[in-house]
């Protein structure tokens, strides 16, 4: 048994997954006012990054912002009324806490799955199942 080999192997196996989890960045919302509506320019990029269903996220934002919303031809979300970028970013943070980040290990590497008729958050990193709020 060679000491150097053992050391090399130990170093290369040091997990850096925890660090990866903390590097997870949600794109900042790009918000533009258009008349009486607020347009979320990079909505598509956001749900893509979160790996979540477009309508699931849109429904959550409608509830959080207390308004109605639709998706336009270019895939942008349009909210009725005027909302600041900060307000939308806070709502996205809430969504990530509730429906994306694992309660146990903080990993964003998760999926929403059906478990005996209820939707739960399944973590691909640690295998934990966490309850999610009803929408
Ligand atoms: Zn986890």
CA of 4 to the centre of ligand 1 (A): 34
As a whole-number percent, the residues of the chain with pLDDT over 70 amount to 83
The mean pLDDT of 60-76, rounded to a whole number, is 97
Binned at pLDDT 50, 70 and 90, residue 29 comes out as very high
Residue ranges matching CATH 3.30.30.170 in the chain: 16-100
More reliable by pLDDT, 71 or 23: 71
CA of 126 to the centre of ligand 1 (A): 4
CATH T-level fold of 16-100 = Defensin A-like (3.30.30)
* pLDDT tens column, 78-114: 999 999 999 999 999 999 999 999 999 999 999 999 9
- What's the whole-model pTM score? 0.81
Q: How far apart are CA 119 and CA 133, in angstroms?
A: 9
CA of 117 to the centre of ligand 1 (A): 21
Asked whether the predicted pLDDT for residue 14 surpasses 90, the reply is: no
Q: Encoding tokens for residue 87?
A: 């307000």
């Amino acid at each position: 048994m060679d000491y150097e080999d053992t050391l090399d192997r130990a170093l290369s196996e040091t997990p850096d997954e925890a660090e990866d989890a903390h590097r997870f960045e949600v794109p900042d919302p790009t918000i533009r006012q258009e008349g009486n509506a607020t347009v979320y320019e990079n909505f598509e990029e956001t749900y893509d990054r979160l790996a979540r269903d477009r309508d699931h996220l849109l429904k959550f934002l409608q509830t959080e912002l207390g308004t109605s919303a639709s998706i336009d031809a270019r895939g942008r979300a349009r909210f009725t009324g005027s909302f600041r970028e900060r307000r939308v970013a806070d709502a996205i943070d809430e969504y990530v806490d509730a429906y994306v980040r694992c309660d146990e290990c903080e990993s964003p590497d998760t999926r929403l799955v059906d478990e005996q008729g209820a939707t739960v958050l399944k973590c691909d990193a640690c295998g934990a199942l966490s309850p999610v709020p009803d929408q």
